[in-house]
Amino acid sequence: MERDEYIESFFNSLKAQLRDAKVRPDRKSATYRNFVVAASWSNNLWDVQLSDHDSTEPIRRQYDPSRARSSESAANYFVDELRRATGQEPIQRPETSLRHNGRPRTQQKV
């Protein structure tokens, strides 16, 4: 996946889970209530930051695209943080068991 596709996929997933989120025209940031989620590339890492107008310390995560599971799983983390910050419960998602190489384990029929 190309750099811009990864970020676009991240924000598409964020928007799909938070209907009130508004992706900005630059397609590298979004607003949700009084919070801003911004993504950029720093060297070879994908840097995502969540901040609001009242807080001095943003939540920041860096992802190595060669090792990150998916842009959707990164979006899930920020969606849950946004929901917590606004007094909502995080979204309950089905758990997946992952093998050591990051692929979901498939059930074998006997």
Domain ranges of the chain: 3-85
Q: How far, in Å, CA of 8 to CA of 27, rounded?
A: 7
What is the value of pTM for the model shown?
Answer: 0.78
Does the pLDDT value for residue 100 go beyond 60? no
In degrees and rounded to multiples of 5, residue 83 shows phi and psi of -65, -45
Q: How far, in Å, CA of 39 to CA of 48, rounded?
A: 4
| Residue (of 75, 54, 55, 51) closest to 63 by Cα position | 75
Higher pLDDT, 43 or 54: 43
pLDDT at 88: 92
pLDDT at 94: 80
Q: How far, in Å, CA of 38 to CA of 7, rounded?
A: 10
Contact by Cβ (8 Å): 37, 50: yes
pLDDT at 1: 61
